[in-house]
Structure 1
Amino acid sequence: MPYTPEKPREYRITPRYIANSDADVSPPIDRLLDAGWALSRDEQANTYVTAPDLRARLAYLPEGDNCTYWKISAGRDAFAPPEWLVTFDHKTPPEVVEDFTAALADAYAQGPDAYLNNGPRPDGAGTTLQLLASGWRLNPATPFLTHQSPDNLIRLHRRDQFLPHASEMAGDTERWLFEVGPPRDVWYATASSRLPEHLLHTLANTVADPAPVHRHMRRVDLERLPAVATATPMAPSPLEVARVRAASSRSLSVPRAAPSTLAYSTTTRPPALPQAAVAGRSR
């Protein structure tokens, strides 16, 4: 069957942070399950993953009360409020979440000192210096301390004022806010004040990772990608090729009527030729 603008086609999208969230959400969860964390679900099909000592946890909340689908937190005690909270909204590419959960699983395996902040409250200086060294720049036009990526598609905002810890853990405010994508199609990630510096560094790196990802997209979706994006059409899968060959074989096997049985009319026109397949678009 020929490709049409109405039929999604698989593309390799670069950078990944401008790809949509229409992908498998299992890998971010599987990273923790592979590390021995426990899985549970509620009656609304929200998913929860908890560390063996109950100090760290992930919640995937597609049926939650807002657009925050991913909440990841850790604390010193299973029954105490968490020390830090990281969130991702519903438009976040799952690959970004997966990289962070992989880093958390590794840190958890090293013990509490690796995934909890046991020193002074981090100011993120090491992370922001690393961003500046990578070509990011300060944007003085915002009310926050804002770092902007070289392609202008990622903004990292830092609130300088005092933030009540309870408000941060409730998701009412945040120390760090990542704003990613063009103005018409932005997704958000947040981190609270007490996130350990190395996990903040990991979060910044995974948000800004330009690695390509695969997505099924329509022509209209491709038109919405920013100019710096690259969308490379992928070769059809063996299953798709087999389906096309089977359809072609069936059409060729249909017997044609003999010429003598065709009714002739001077007003009859041959059927229109099928439109040529629309080539995949590559930026």
Structure 2
Amino acid sequence: MPTPDDTHLYEDVLVSPMYLAGSNGTGTAGFAPVAHWPHHYLDEGPCQLVVTSPDQRIRIGWFGDDYELWKITAATDAVATPRWTATFNHVTPAEIVAGLTTALAHDYAQADAYNGQGRFLANPSYRWTDYVRPLTDAGWTRDSGAERGTVEIVAPDGQAGILIDSRPSGWDDETTTLWAGPPGWGTRAEAVFTERTPSHLIAATAAVMANSAPVIRERHQINQRMAHLVTLTPLTPASKTSETLGSRAPTPLDVRRTAVTQAVHRAARAPRTAADLRVMAAQSRTTGAVHNRPSTFAPAASAPPSSASAPRRSR
């Protein structure tokens, strides 16, 4: 039977800023914009699920036990070498991944209006300002201490940013990194994009980070080392809100707060789709199998990555 402390740990809370909320352990939010695309469940190998566009030019891979949890690519045809790649690590909130998958779903739906190829294959802008406009519009500022040949835009709280390496590089080099949180395996979220990633897709991902709206997590999902950097607001049921108000009549502000709380709670507890349930089932099966693997293949969620998969940068 759960103790009072256990119940407290599993309490739903609103977490802000969102970019420090970490992962909730599922990819539901990231896959939601492409829920109507074909799903391919893999029983072998580190990749557990691949969601593809109907023509398979866009691929969204979920690696449930790896440090790099998401790998997203786009190519000119189903068997071509990816034109660009985006990876998101295990700390990155799936809501940030949804910024990219939402833009991809829109681009794919509008492909016929963009020379039949799709804007998701467009050449990136040569102006780095196009990558970061959602952030600068939200008050993020340039860090004057960035290395020569790089540009870094940092959030007002100093706990998130985007680093653009403008030095000469190959087409497949990783040149843009969105980051959030202090350096460390369990605290630093990273989204990394290769050279030819279209600028508007990076900007769409950055726009989610710039959004001030909180996200829902259970208390135990917040890394202890992040607790002092985030604001946690309990999601209070309407009945408890009424008790708090006591006998006085609710003010218009009370009414608005209650309505927002109820709406957010409903969204978080909405019934999952069959695809979501299959993702969770695949995670469960893989997690069970992982316990029988050699220690060198332990899931990223329970052990630091090897040097080959360590975080790329720290500030």
- Provide the rounded CA distance (Å) in 2 between the counterparts of 1:82 and 1:46: 20
Aligned residue number for residue 283 of structure 2:
none
Aligned residue number for residue 168 of structure 2:
162
- Provide the rounded CA distance (Å) in 2 between the counterparts of 1:219 and 1:77: 39
Q: Which moved more, 1:104-113 or 1:40-49?
A: 40-49
- Provide the rounded CA distance (Å) in 2 between the counterparts of 1:156 and 1:76: 28
Aligned partners of 1:179 and 1:188 also within 8 Å: yes
**What SS does structure 2 have at the residue aligned with 1:163?**
coil
How far off its partner does 1:83 sit?
1.1
Aligned residue number for residue 83 of structure 1:
83
Q: Say which structure is richer in helix.
A: 2
- Provide the rounded CA distance (Å) in 1 between the counterparts of 2:140 and 2:200: 19
Q: 1:83 to 1:213 in 2, by over 3 A?
A: same
Deviation string 1:166-219 (CA, Å, 9 cap, x unpaired) is 4x3xxxxx1101121134521101112222222121011123322211111149
Aligned residue number for residue 50 of structure 1:
52
**What are the ranges of 5 or more consecutive residues in structure 1 without an aligned counterpart?**
169-173, 239-283
Aligned partners of 1:23 and 1:215 also within 8 Å: no
- Provide the rounded CA distance (Å) in 2 between the counterparts of 1:199 and 1:217: 31
Superposition TM-score, scaled by structure 2 size: 0.64
How far off its partner does 1:124 sit?
3.1
How far off its partner does 1:98 sit?
2.1
Aligned partners of 1:18 and 1:225 also within 8 Å: no
**What SS does structure 2 have at the residue aligned with 1:49?**
strand
How far off its partner does 1:100 sit?
1.9
Which one of 212, 215, 218 corresponds to residue 217 of structure 2? 215
Among all aligned residue pairs of Structure 1 and Structure 2, give the percentage whose two residues are the same amino acid.
Answer: 27
Aligned residue number for residue 151 of structure 2:
145
- Provide the rounded CA distance (Å) in 1 between the counterparts of 2:44 and 2:238: 37
Aligned residue number for residue 113 of structure 1:
118
Amino acid at match of 1:20: G
- Provide the rounded CA distance (Å) in 2 between the counterparts of 1:48 and 1:21: 19
How far off its partner does 1:102 sit?
1.7
How far off its partner does 1:38 sit?
3.5
**What SS does structure 1 have at the residue aligned with 2:213?**
coil
Aligned residue number for residue 269 of structure 1:
none
- Provide the rounded CA distance (Å) in 2 between the counterparts of 1:49 and 1:219: 26
Q: 1:7 to 1:221 in 2, by over 3 A?
A: farther
- When the two chains are superposed, the root-mean-square deviation of aligned CA atoms in Å is 2.7
**What SS does structure 1 have at the residue aligned with 2:26?**
coil
What is the 5 A alignment of 1:189-268? 189-218=191-220, 221=223, 224-227=226-229, 229-235=230-236
**How many residues align structurally?**
227
Q: 1:219 to 1:24 in 2, by over 3 A?
A: closer
What is the 5 A alignment of 1:7-18? 7-8=8-9, 9-18=11-20
How far off its partner does 1:127 sit?
3.0
- Provide the rounded CA distance (Å) in 1 between the counterparts of 2:201 and 2:95: 16
